[in-house]
A = this chain, B = another copy of it.
């Protein structure tokens, strides 16, 4: 009884808003991650350009910067009088920093390596022979991509999506920096949780962390249930 009441009292309207923003952010980020990550990963998996290792390293780079520092540089880039900010406004956007769009951009950049890596690995392990077979049946590149590559890379896509989603839910440094913590717009759950810990509201923090964990567990578990590529290849009977 007590805990329910406590929980109730802890989930303020602001928290609810933060939950909504977080889910929206993670969902949109994941979708964009896939849309952006797929072509990059495909290119990386197939290019014979000598600079490929360099490009791969660049994709992985956002990881080596502390999130707040990355956020700081993004903030500089998003400033209204910076080239990026100018372009954004030219394209009809409002101010970029402290907007939901900024969060999305920041999250995508920060999580890109997690999306590209599993996708690229999947693509590289895809038997090219099947694409040749598809080509002989008249499938052009686009057709091959949707009819062969995507379904056979489900493993990588699920990996990319789940890592990207989870990472965005937990992300905090970058978002904190470029989001401005505006309730209902850029205040996300991770920041709310961080605030609890900083301000010593431990029991509230425990509840929130617990809820987050249980929710994520369910969601990720659900995603991973679709991850059954293995069953398509019964042991020893595959002929690629």
Q: Which residues of A contact B (CB under 8 A)?
A: 45, 52-54, 56-58, 60-70, 72-73, 113-114, 117-118, 120-122, 124-125, 127-129, 132, 155-156, 159, 162-163, 166-167, 169-173, 190-191, 193-194, 197-198, 205, 209, 212-213, 216-225, 227, 229-230, 233, 235-240
Given A121-B156, A238-B127, also A170-B53 (CB < 8 A): no
Minimal Cβ-Cβ distance residue in B for A67: B172
> Given that A57-B221, A172-B173, A240-B127 are contacting pairs, would A197 and B69 also be in contact in the complex, using a CB cutoff of 8 Å?
yes
Which of B56, B170, B172, B236 lies in contact with A221, CB distance below 8 A?
B56
Interface of chain A, main secondary structure: helix
Distance from A2 Cβ to chain B, minimum over Cβ atoms (Å) = 22
Contact residues in B for A114 (Cβ distance below 8 Å): 114, 163
Complex-state Cα separation, A52 to B240, whole angstroms: 26
A124 touches B224 (CB 8 A): no
Task: Verify B117–A159 contact, CB threshold 8 A.
Answer: yes
Evaluate whether A220 and B57 lie within 8 angstroms (CB atoms) in the complex, with A121-B155, A197-B68 already known.
yes
Q: Smallest CB–CB gap between A36 and chain B, Å?
A: 18
What are some 12 contacts across the A-B interface (CB < 8 A)? A54-B221, A58-B217, A64-B169, A66-B172, A67-B67, A67-B172, A68-B194, A68-B197, A73-B209, A117-B118, A118-B118, A128-B235
Residues of B contacting A227 in the complex (Cβ-Cβ under 8 angstroms): 53, 56
Q: Which of A64, A124, A169 has the most chain B CB atoms inside 10 A of its CB?
A: A64
A85 to chain B, nearest CB (A): 18
Name the B residues within 8 Å of A66 (CB-CB).
170-172, 190-191, 193-194
Partner of A235 from the list B45, B60, B129, B166 (CB cut-off 8 Å) is B129
A166 neighbours in B (Cβ, 8 Å): 60-61, 63-64, 113
Taking the closest CB of chain B, its distance from the CB of A123, in whole angstroms, is 10
14 additional A-B pairs beyond A58-B217, A117-B118, beta carbons within 8 Å, are A53-B227, A54-B221, A56-B221, A57-B223, A57-B224, A63-B163, A63-B167, A64-B170, A68-B197, A72-B205, A114-B114, A122-B125, A128-B236, A129-B235
